[in-house]
A and B are shown apart, each in its own frame.
Chain A
């Protein structure tokens, strides 16, 4: 029972003619250790939702419970919440600012008021987790490649030792290898550190491959919530709201339409290969 969202509404421009629901009656429970994909087209409310989870935005009404405690309760420390729920924004490398990689990662924990030795310890750990060794410590973050910069930015959040990590499109603008590297890293953090992950993504192929639960947002409302397989069965409805299923889903549907009954549960290349070979060898 890590995060419970209850009847959450967020209204922009309340009581004006521009009044608009950015989030409408969202109910969602995120368990400890889950790996959740959050999808929806631009303007669907997914970024607004993630910014509520660590208190950057306050709901117009409704509640958010973090480990059973209401974050809107008087006296609740949002500062603590923000160190437990880490948010990696889109293009996080734009937020790098220090003279070298190591100082940049130290910035967060330093502000928690920890001892210098503890700060350094955390920075080292975080950099190790993202796969950057000591050779990078004294380099300027601005002279690294796009993928490396992004790792530094993620390390900066990891150094806060979050229990929940929210990543808003962490692979935008990276090449295929950079994308696989970052997603592989996120998967490792989930498995080895047991961090709860919420991954905001535009790529259906990516979420099909990594997440165990998928939440689809549309016009501020939660539209689907289930395993990727369950959600991608609604591929026609997904198309209507400007999304799509992974390409493999379309191959499966086209085969089924021609009388080849490949299982509808197939969503990745490997699964499709195994299913088709099974039918072939029979």
Chain B
């Protein structure tokens, strides 16, 4: 049984009219079940409006499901007595770095979480040290967060979550507002936390390049899970992904087009090296 278990999740956004009657119901999730193993790196893909952010907010009780249950290490998110424990276990990082930073100094910001749950001062500092180290921001600990780049701010936000010693981090499009450098920084940080600290990662994104190294890729569309597998399995279904309004990496697309033109290439090529290794013998042979 995994650290995160979602069972038949349904979530409706309900809009009320002036008389408080139900005016419009938007079914954001229509029966999502997912079991995530501790220590794994799982990516969730989906276009805007597919329900992926709603799903993320259900993971630590920011939203509660209309129907169905979320278990975080066997605690129900809907049990109020477990809410703090749930949030300590599953930390969240959001899209906009500017909305998540509250401290005037980087180290204060990182220490804010543990301070609020009554961690002894000495231990707060230990956690701050360790968290900043883990995201590679120790050199900036005495700076104002306002002077940092977007990528650096996101890393500080991740350190803030790390200081709560979570077993699992949910990241909701953490790179959507960053430039390519910032994006790489953040993804590298998350990958390291997963590998070195063994933290379970649930990464929600629509950048395909970011999920190539995930253990598992889940694709959502219209409030449901429509694909679930390794990156190779998922990216081998190029035309299906396009139907769900998603992209594939350029290399995968090129391989797919060449294959359609009759070249003998396998499905699901994800890296430049893989493609080149396959192409060279084919093209050399033809010329010989």
Could you list which residues of chain A lie within 8 angstroms of chain B, going by C-beta atoms? 41-43, 145-147, 172-178, 202, 205, 242-244, 246-248, 250-251, 254-255, 258-260, 269-270, 272-273, 276-277, 279-282
Task: Decide: A251 and B251 in contact? CB cutoff 8 A.
Answer: yes
Query: Is B181 positioned at the interface, with any CB of A under 8 Å from its CB?
Result: yes
With beta carbons under 8 angstroms apart, the residue of B48, B251, B282 that contacts A280 is B282
Task: Decide: B180 and A254 in contact? CB cutoff 8 A.
Answer: no
Nearest Cβ on chain B to A22's Cβ, whole angstroms = 16
Residue of B nearest to A177 (CB): B245
Interface of A is mostly: helix
Nearest Cβ on chain B to A148's Cβ, whole angstroms = 10
Nearest Cβ on chain B to A239's Cβ, whole angstroms = 11
Query: Is B47 positioned at the interface, with any CB of A under 8 Å from its CB?
Result: yes
Task: Decide: A242 and B181 in contact? CB cutoff 8 A.
Answer: yes
Query: Is B263 positioned at the interface, with any CB of A under 8 Å from its CB?
Result: yes
Query: Is B287 positioned at the interface, with any CB of A under 8 Å from its CB?
Result: yes
With beta carbons under 8 angstroms apart, the residue of B249, B251, B287 that contacts A282 is B287
Chain A residues within 8 Å of B182, by CB: 42
Q: Give CA–CA (A279, B254) in the complex, Å.
A: 15
Task: Decide: A260 and B283 in contact? CB cutoff 8 A.
Answer: yes
Nearest Cβ on chain A to B264's Cβ, whole angstroms = 11
Q: Pick out which of these stretches binds chain A: B78-86, B102-110, B273-281.
A: B273-281
With beta carbons under 8 angstroms apart, the residue of B47, B176, B287 that contacts A176 is B47
Q: Give CA–CA (A113, B150) in the complex, Å.
A: 40
Chain B residues within 8 Å of A273, by CB: 254, 257-258, 261
Q: Give CA–CA (A253, B258) in the complex, Å.
A: 18
Q: Give CA–CA (A270, B258) in the complex, Å.
A: 10
Chain B residues within 8 Å of A174, by CB: 48
Q: Give CA–CA (A95, B159) in the complex, Å.
A: 32
Task: Decide: A276 and B176 in contact? CB cutoff 8 A.
Answer: no
Residue of B nearest to A143 (CB): B15
Nearest Cβ on chain B to A107's Cβ, whole angstroms = 26
Task: Decide: B176 and A173 in contact? CB cutoff 8 A.
Answer: yes
Q: Give CA–CA (A43, B257) in the complex, Å.
A: 37
Q: Give CA–CA (A265, B90) in the complex, Å.
A: 48
Residue of B nearest to A204 (CB): B180
Q: Show 23 A/B contacts (Cβ-Cβ < 8 Å), sorted by A.
A: A41-B180, A42-B150, A42-B179, A42-B181, A43-B149, A145-B48, A145-B49, A173-B95, A173-B173, A175-B48, A175-B206, A176-B245, A243-B180, A247-B249, A248-B254, A251-B276, A254-B276, A259-B280, A260-B283, A260-B284, A277-B261, A279-B287, A282-B287
Q: Give CA–CA (A258, B275) in the complex, Å.
A: 12
Query: Is B239 positioned at the interface, with any CB of A under 8 Å from its CB?
Result: no
CB 8 Å contact bits of B156-188 with A (1 = contact, 0 = none)? 000000000000000001001101111000000
A172-B177, A251-B276, A255-B276 given as contacts; is B254 within 8 A of A269 (CB)? yes
Nearest Cβ on chain B to A199's Cβ, whole angstroms = 15
Query: Is B253 positioned at the interface, with any CB of A under 8 Å from its CB?
Result: yes
Task: Decide: B206 and A269 in contact? CB cutoff 8 A.
Answer: no
Query: Is B247 positioned at the interface, with any CB of A under 8 Å from its CB?
Result: yes
Task: Decide: B246 and A175 in contact? CB cutoff 8 A.
Answer: yes
With beta carbons under 8 angstroms apart, the residue of B149, B177, B251 that contacts A247 is B251
Chain B interface, number of residues (Cβ within 8 angstroms): 37
Could you list which residues of chain B lie within 8 angstroms of chain A, going by C-beta atoms? 47-49, 95, 149-150, 173, 176-177, 179-182, 206, 245-247, 249-251, 253-254, 257-258, 261, 263, 272-273, 275-276, 279-280, 282-284, 286-287
Q: Which of B95, B246, B261 has the most CB of A within 10 A?
A: B261
Task: Decide: A41 and B179 in contact? CB cutoff 8 A.
Answer: yes
The 8 closest A-B CB pairs, nearest first, are A176-B247, A177-B245, A175-B47, A247-B250, A254-B276, A273-B257, A173-B176, A175-B48
Q: Give CA–CA (A58, B95) in the complex, Å.
A: 33
Nearest Cβ on chain A to B188's Cβ, whole angstroms = 14
A251-B272, A260-B280, A280-B282 given as contacts; is B177 within 8 A of A173 (CB)? yes
Q: Give CA–CA (A172, B182) in the complex, Å.
A: 14
Task: Decide: A246 and B250 in contact? CB cutoff 8 A.
Answer: yes
Q: Give CA–CA (A147, B49) in the complex, Å.
A: 11
Nearest Cβ on chain B to A267's Cβ, whole angstroms = 10
A41-B180, A248-B250 given as contacts; is B258 within 8 A of A277 (CB)? yes
Task: Decide: B286 and A280 in contact? CB cutoff 8 A.
Answer: yes
Q: Give CA–CA (A281, B49) in the complex, Å.
A: 44
Task: Decide: A282 and B272 in contact? CB cutoff 8 A.
Answer: no
With beta carbons under 8 angstroms apart, the residue of B48, B254, B276, B283 that contacts A147 is B48
Q: Give CA–CA (A146, B257) in the complex, Å.
A: 31
Residue of A nearest to B173 (CB): A173
Nearest Cβ on chain A to B176's Cβ, whole angstroms = 5
Task: Decide: B257 and A269 in contact? CB cutoff 8 A.
Answer: yes
Chain A residues within 8 Å of B250, by CB: 205, 246-248, 251, 269
Q: Give CA–CA (A21, B161) in the complex, Å.
A: 37
Chain A residues within 8 Å of B47, by CB: 175-178
Q: Give CA–CA (A145, B49) in the complex, Å.
A: 8
Nearest Cβ on chain B to A245's Cβ, whole angstroms = 11
Chain A residues within 8 Å of B48, by CB: 145-147, 174-175, 178
Task: Decide: B245 and A272 in contact? CB cutoff 8 A.
Answer: no
With beta carbons under 8 angstroms apart, the residue of A42, A202, A250, A276 that contacts B272 is A250
